[in-house]
Amino acid sequence: MTGRLVHTGQVILDLVMRVDALPEPGGDVLASETTLLPGGGFNVMAAAARSGARVVYAGAHGSGPFGDRVRAALRGEGVGLAGPPSDEGDTGVCVAVVDGSGERTFVTGSGAEAGLTAERLAPVEAGTGDVVYLSGYSLMHGPNRAALKGWLPSAAGATVLLDPGPLGPRIPHEVLDATLSRVDVLSANAREARGLTGARDLSTAAATLAGRLRPSSTVVVRDGADGCLVASDGTVERIPGFPVSPVDTNGAGDTHCGVLVAELLAGSTLEVAARRANAAAALSVLRRGPATAPTASEIDAFLAER
């Protein structure tokens, strides 16, 4: 791999609580398990790094104990840091409640990661061969959005990937349209794709999103056990998935996105990259926790059996 993943999104801590079922409004339930682990953009970067990609985190990170945990985790995955800790407070927290079916519900409290600045991004270089990762959460935060708008022209030679995330449909239209004009790859899950287009049929949603990007761009719509749809060059193709019995779907989409990027950096075709991303996502939901991406060798072994 010659290029790098330059991640400009947010890394936060995930407070994961496991329950049999969500409480009624105003109610209370006891969690059977509670963990505090790095999440958000960390999951994408860990997935890419475990598949052999070189990864740099260009986002903001806090100066308190939460930020310390984030930095230690990034170093543990071999991810480089583009800048020092922010002096604007600590890293934020996302509460992820996982029910008995493995479905998850989120509440996020932002921290220093929501205060990306032009000064922090200015020294970050991204060019030909690199993939720049943009998060929809960044487009929801005014400071991050402004900083990225000023910096992106300097990354003219890089491939830009946008993951709009669950808040994608709430991104202001003018902001999203301006961003899409610079995007080369858009990766969204089925719910996000439907929310962004209003189309119920996923093939229609994928084609509609592709029509909003510049020519030769690609849209990947993640569809759980059914794999993903890849819209490119006027066609929509389904890359079959790998049905498994999930124990925790938290982080599956991030795993898919990270492995997809790693494969593209390695020169894989879109079909191969999507198939390996599907396999990685299937493996990830067999494990508990947010950052459950497999290694490249684990993906190889999984595919060799199928």
Alpha-carbon distance 193 to 203, whole Å?
10
pLDDT(99) > 90? yes
Q: How high is the pLDDT of residue 250?
A: 79
Torsion of CA 81, 84, 89, 94, to 10 degrees: 0
Predicted model pTM = 0.91
Reply yes or no on domain 4-9+41-65+115-304 having CATH 3.30.70.3270: no
CA distances, 125 to each of 102, 179, 180 (Å): 39, 19, 21
Greater pLDDT, 164 or 2 = 164
Token code pair at residue 188: 């969204």
Question: For residue 288, what pLDDT band results from cuts at 50, 70 and 90?
Answer: confident
Query: Is 62:306 a contact under the CB 8 Å cutoff?
Result: no
Q: Are 96 and 290 in contact (CB under 8 A)?
A: yes
* Cα 210 to Cα 233: distance, rounded to the nearest angstrom: 9
Q: Report the pLDDT value the prediction gives residue 141, as an integer from 0 to 100.
A: 87
Dump pLDDT digits (tens) for 60-92: 999 999 999 999 999 999 999 999 999 989 999
pLDDT category of residue 26 using cuts at 50, 70 and 90: very high
Express each pLDDT in 228-276 by its tens digit: 999 999 999 999 999 999 998 878 999 999 999 999 999 999 999 999 9
- Weakest mean pLDDT among 39-43, 178-182, 207-211: 39-43
Which range (20-29, 119-128, 154-163, 248-257) has the least confidence? 248-257
Residue 1 has pLDDT above 80, yes or no: no
pLDDT recorded at residue 187: 98
- C-alpha 91/C-alpha 279 separation (Å) is 31
Q: Is there a contact between 258 and 248 (Cβ–Cβ < 8 Å)?
A: no
